[in-house]
Each structure stands twice: as structure tokens, then as C-alpha cells.
A and B are shown apart, each in its own frame.
Chain A
Amino acid sequence: MNIIAVGLSHKTAPVEVRERLAVPESRLGEALHRLCGYQGIKEGVLLSTCNRVEVYAVVDDVDAGFARVQEFLADTHLSLSSEQLTPHLYWHTDGRAISHLFRVAASLDSMVVGEPQILGQLKDAFEASLTHKASGVVLNKLLQKTISAAKRVRTETKIAETAVSVSYAAVELAKKIFSNLNEKTVLLVGAGEMAKLAAKHLINNGVQRVMITTRNPQGAIELAQRFNGTSIPFDEFRRAMAEADIVLCSTGASHYLIRAVDVEEAVRRRMNRPIFLIDISVPRNIEPAVKDIDNAFLFDIDDLEMRVEQNREERRREAVKAEGMIEEEVAASLHWLKSLDVTPTIVALRKRAEDIKQAEIDKVMARLGHLSAQERSAIEGLASAIVNKLLHGPLVTLKAEANSSGSSMYVEAAKRFFGLDATQLPPAIPAEPTQVRGAGGGAAPATALKQSDPSGEPEPKRA
């Protein structure tokens, strides 16, 4: 039994390929059904987002599994041939596949590292597999582990904490000046895209009152409707600044619309309550001297971009920490996966029975005192006979089911019935979680080199 991951993402395929391969939610059930219809594919999960299409599957044989999944993907879209698809795909098995899944879930493989949507998308994909009975014991447990690993990364690192877009950086700065945005008022001067986006973020973060002014009165009225705010005549907006806690300025004007004296006046009328001004216009619309006014905080586009760059840096630092956590989690999952194999379970079961038998024999011998050799061997024989007869059924079943699609279910059941926890099982094969294999047989020297690639980046398949 092996776990494989096959797919493509924004890192390996252009949008033209991704959009054709993407499976809409309405067709997910049909696709999962088709996937599990292939011979040798025991369980499957299909993750389809705008940035990636990936299949995670439990298969009997890695190479056959890769071939089946590729067929499946090629069949997903009629206009896409296997040859067109192949150069964009990456292929992972076992440790590497789990590691890839964990990294995707933890948003380490995302276009914007740390973005939160992917985990939700993965949960949806998992739900769909559950609903359509495409996933079983192995993937169910693995997906649970994935979700908890991703949550651990989120809570123990700051990977998703900081703003990585200019418009969001404005919100982040506003939160360093105002603790509660609910009762704050935003004044939007001009209708630049970035300013509108920032206004939207501010509203999403609690701002309830929005005032809008544009040179064209009609534009302000339309925007006011969109943001559920009020429009203000353009030649009066400087007075409205006394009511505004946050001023977002982004117009096409080639001169300073807001001068230092305007801000001084506003701060005075605000009785020194702080005012936060964001100038996203180029050329700038707010006089730079505003920065010297007490209780007025002016940030221009460069300041916001600098903040974003620092945050990206911070996310990269946190990503390193996250990779370490993922490694730990992958090792634990591999250990668990290994325990699902039949052979170590049989060994553990025998050992457990032997231990119990020996302990009971020792106990009874100590209690009975002097016994003849014959009596001793009779007691030992009795114990062995009971143990062997009791174990006969389970052992035969386990061996018989070793290669069936339900093997992991039987193993899991045996472990629970006989109380064999993972710690009693032989340790999982360590240090080999990174294994990339071509679909067409054993590892070629080129792929062997890739195995030691420590970057953890998914590698496109070499055809």
C-alpha cells in the first residue's frame, strides 16, 4: 500500500492548463467516482482550486497508480492530451506525498505564502471524498492529520499574521493607531483602485462610517451606494476631515490636495484625536510636511510597500519554522502509515500474545510451587494451545487480506481489538520521506539526484 500525490499548481503550470483541468464542485462527485473506478486505486481525494489541481490516492502499486491517475487527469478534460499534461505534473510517493499535502494545507506552497483559503478548500475536498465514499481509513486519518498539522503551523508561527498587500497594510497600520475600528470614520478622497480596496478592507475590519468625495459628484454618489456611505461635495471635504479618523487619498491630481494647514486645522478641531492619512496617489496628493504635525500620521505608497516587504520577509522567516514542524508531522504520519502494514501488525500481535502467555505462566508457576517437569510442560502446552487457537483466525484473516483493498481497515481493527498501539510496532523507515518516482518504472539516475533535493519544492516530472 502506498500513498501518491499527482498534480499541478501555479508553480508548474500556466493558468491556461490549470483552468482546463479544474473540476467544478458540481462535477466533483462524478470525478471521484471515476477516480476510484480505476483498478488499483483504493482511496482518492481530489483538490481543485484556481491555483492547483491535485489527486491524493492510496494505491497498491506506485507506478500503476501514477499511470492511472494521469489517465484520470487527462480524461478530466477532453481537449487536454496526456502529452500536453505530463510536463506540468509533479509526482510524489509516501513521505514526499504526505509532506506535499501538509505543505499545501499549511499554505507553504501557496502563491501568497500563509494565505488562509487553502485549508478551507482542502477541507471541502475532504468532505466531498467522504460524501462520495472515495476516501477510506488511510486518507481519512491522513486528512485529519493534515488539518491538525496546518492548524499547528497557523497557531505556532506568525505565517498568516501579517499583511502582504498594500491595501491590507493600510488596515494593519490603522490597527496600530486605533484599537477598535468599529466606531471609526473613513474619508475616501478620489476613486483610485487601491484606495477603494483599502476602504473595503477597513469596512471588513469593522469600520462602519464611510464618507466619499470625488471630483465628479456622480462618482461619489455611486461609490457611496456601494460602500453604504455618504457622499460629500469635493470642495467641502477638507472640513469633513475633522470627523474622519482615517483619510484614504487616491486621485489623479498632479498637486497636493491636502496641505499641512488643512491637517493642522483638522487635528485642532478633532481636539488632538489622532488622524491617520494614507496617500496612495502618485504623484502624491497629501503634502509630505503633514508628517511633522502632532497626532497626524501620514503614510504614502512607499511606506506601505516597505511594510509589505518587511511582512513578506517575516513570512519567509516563519515559513522556515513551519517547514520544521511539517517535517515532524510527516515523520509521525509515516510512522502511523507504516503501522498499517500487515507484517508488522502480525509480528506485534504475536509478540503481544507471547508476552501475555509468558506472564500468566510465570504467575501460575510461582503460585503452584513444586511441579514435575511433566506438569510444567502440560501447563505451558495448554497456554500455548489457547493462545494459538485464539490467534489463528485473526492471523489468517490479516494474511489473506494483506493485499486486498480493505487491508488497512483490518489492520486498524486488529490493532484496536488487541490494543497494539503504534509504539509497540517496529519503527517506520526513517529519513527517506523524499522520494520522487517517474511513472515508468524504477528511479533513473536523474530522479535519484532529485531525491536528495532538500528544497522540498515539488519537482515537475521528467518524462
Chain B
Amino acid sequence: MPATFFIATIVLYFAGTGFFLAYLLRRSEALSQVSLSVTAVGFLTHTLALLTRMLEAGQVTLASFHEAMSFFSWALVLVFLFVEIRHRIHVLGSFILPLALISLLSAAALPKEVPTLEPVLKTVWVHVTLSMLGTVGFAVAFVAGIMYLIQDGLLKSKRFNVLYSKLPPLDFLDRLNQQSIVMGFPLLTMGIITGAISAEFARGSYLSWNPEQLWALATWLFYFVVLMGRLTVGWRAKRAAYLTIIGFAGVVLTFIGVVLKAHGAVA
């Protein structure tokens, strides 16, 4: 059952991505409704996939990399739908859906079996959920940054094309960027703290100074500086866009490193 829903979700996100990209490049607004509907149905099957998996396993299935990536993709679409309902910025889907699809595909590529957790790791899902939600914030900031740079470039070069007409105002994107970091950062902080606590229980030390943990801490520090810079010395607009793009690249690299090293094992 979960597998069926999962595959249906991949198909739907794939279609949603296609529609949203077509929407981005075409003058007509007509495709936005199709894209949104497909995405909404995909989100529904995705939710069912996650729930049925938990019901079948009889535990909160948020421990393996597959589970984390699938959850990340789900939360990303959730945030998109939320912003869409509030602001009707359809074009956001053209950037978020591909990202959600990529995460879901990478989840599909990772080992899917439900891991058997040692009793001390029964609550590791708290760490995973918080970290992933924080990462979703950074991902949305990343997307807002990319959209900002595109719109900034179009305005500067006075190319008033279809993309220009569809992208939202610059200050909306800058605000989205800021809010995403403001929400994402504390979540990641709590994710790291709960992770350290889990590690203390599991291995007897909060921090084992391995490269992944160092990378994660470096990422955390980077976003801390980005956030402080914005709030104090005006690192907003273009600079914030660049910084959040670099930051998210760091997050992705960390994740790939961790996955490659652990090869599907529990974090």
C-alpha cells in the first residue's frame, strides 16, 4: 500500500513539475490550475504514503535516509501549498516542484525497508523531523534566492519577458527568503540539539567530531551569520540571495556526504 502511494506520488510530482515548467514558459495563465491540481493530488497521495507506512510499521517511520528525504519532499510541497494559498504566487511551484521531485526520486533510490531501531533510538524521529523542517526552510530560502536573482537580472537588463511577468515583486522574494531562514534556523538548531542528545544516549557522546557533524555545525554557523547579517547590517536583497544559495549548496553536499558514508544506515 505505501509503495503504491509512493509511486503514484512520483508520477504526480513528475506531472506537476512538467506542468509548472510549461506554465513558467507560456504566456497563458491557464496551466496554473492544472499544475496546482496535480500537485495537490500528489500531496494527498504522498501524505497517504507516509501515513500508511507508519501504520504498517507500527512506529514513526522517520529514521532512514529514504524516510527523511521523502518527508523533506512532502514538507516542501506543504510549504509551497501554504504560500500558494496565502499569496497566489503560482510561479513558486515552477521552482519548488522540481526540487520536491528530485528529493522524492533520491528517496526512491535509497533503501526503502523500515529500519529496526534500537530502543534508545526510538525517538530519533524528533531529531530527523526537526532537522528536515529546518532544511525545508533553507530550501525555500534557496528557491526564493534563485527567483530573486533571476528577477533582479531581468529588471536590470530590462528584459520584460514571460518570466519577468510571472515572477513576483523583488521585495516579496526577499521577504520569503528572510522568513524561510527565520523559521528554518531555530528548527535546525533544535534538530541538532535533539540529534546530539540521541547520540549521547546511543553512543555516549554528544559529538563524535566526524566530518559530517563538523559540516553540519559549519552549516549551522553559516546560517547563523547570514541571519545576523540580515538583521543587523542589512545583508538583504541580492546578497542574501547569493548567501542562501551557497548555504543550501552546503546543506546538500553535507547530506550527500553523510548518505554516501553511511550508505543507508541509521544516522
Contact = CB atoms under 8 A, between A and B. Distances in A.
B170 interface: yes
A271 interface: yes
A270 B239 CA distance: 14
Given A299-B158, A306-B158, A310-B160, A177 B233 contact: no
A295 B156 contact: no
A164 to B, nearest CB: 14
B56 interface: no
Contact of A271 (B168, B171, B236): B236
A297 B155 contact: yes
Interface in B147-173: 151, 155-156, 158, 160, 164, 167-172
A336 B235 CA distance: 64
B124 to A, nearest CB: 41
A273 B237 contact: yes
A274 B233 contact: no
B172 A179 contact: yes
B234 interface: yes
A395 B237 CA distance: 77
A272 B170 contact: no
B149 to A, nearest CB: 11
A273 B238 CA distance: 10
Nearest to A310: B160
**Most B Cβ at <10 Å: residue of A175, A270, A271, A310:** A271
Interface in B170-203: 170-172, 175
A274 B241 CA distance: 13
Contacts of B164: 176
B239 A297 contact: no
A307 B234 contact: no
Contact of B238 (A177, A270, A295): A295
B204 to A, nearest CB: 47
B169 A176 contact: yes
B160 A274 contact: no
A175 B169 contact: yes
B242 to A, nearest CB: 10
A272 B235 contact: yes
B164 to A, nearest CB: 7
27 contacts: A173-B155, A175-B169, A176-B155, A176-B164, A176-B167, A177-B155, A177-B169, A177-B170, A177-B171, A179-B171, A179-B172, A270-B234, A271-B233, A271-B234, A272-B235, A272-B236, A272-B237, A272-B238, A273-B234, A274-B237, A294-B238, A295-B238, A297-B156, A299-B158, A303-B158, A307-B160, A310-B160
Contacts of B238: 272, 294-295
Interface size, A (range): 20 to 34
Nearest to B28: A158
Contacts of A307: 160
A276 to B, nearest CB: 9
Contacts of B171: 177-180, 274
A295 B234 CA distance: 12
A308 B253 CA distance: 45
A123 interface: no
A274 B235 contact: no
B156 A291 contact: yes
Contacts of B158: 299, 303, 306
A271 to B, nearest CB: 3
Interface in A148-203: 173, 175-180
Contacts of A179: 168-169, 171-172, 175
Given A177-B155, A291-B156, A274 B234 contact: no
A306 B158 CA distance: 9
Interface string A251-278: 0000000000000000000111110000
Contacts of A177: 155, 169-171
Q: Give the 7 A-B residue pairs with the shortest CB-CB distance, closest first.
A: A271-B234, A179-B169, A179-B172, A272-B234, A177-B170, A272-B237, A295-B237
Given A173-B155, A271-B234, A272-B235, 9 more contacts: A179-B168, A180-B171, A270-B234, A274-B171, A291-B156, A294-B238, A297-B156, A306-B160, A307-B160
Contacts of B235: 272
Contacts of A306: 158, 160
B238 to A, nearest CB: 5
A178 B172 CA distance: 7
A318 to B, nearest CB: 10
A179 B89 CA distance: 12
Contact of A273 (B168, B169, B233, B236): B236
B37 to A, nearest CB: 19
Given A178-B169, A178-B171, A294 B151 contact: no
Interface string B205-247: 0000000000000000000000000000111111100000000
Nearest to A176: B169
Interface string A296-318: 01010001001100100000000
B155 A272 contact: no
A186 to B, nearest CB: 16
B245 to A, nearest CB: 16
Nearest to A270: B234
Nearest to B238: A294
A271 B178 CA distance: 15
A273 B170 CA distance: 10
A271 B233 CA distance: 7
A176 B155 CA distance: 9
Interface in A297-353: 297, 299, 303, 306-307, 310
Contacts of A180: 171
A273 to B, nearest CB: 7
Given A176-B151, A177-B155, A303-B158, A294 B237 contact: yes
A270 B174 CA distance: 15
Contacts of B236: 271-273
A243 to B, nearest CB: 15
Given A177-B155, A299-B158, A272 B239 contact: yes
Contacts of B172: 179
A177 B164 CA distance: 11
A454 to B, nearest CB: 25
Nearest to A299: B158
A179 B237 CA distance: 14
A227 B93 CA distance: 41
A310 B164 CA distance: 13
Interface string A410-446: 0000000000000000000000000000000000000
A271 B155 CA distance: 20
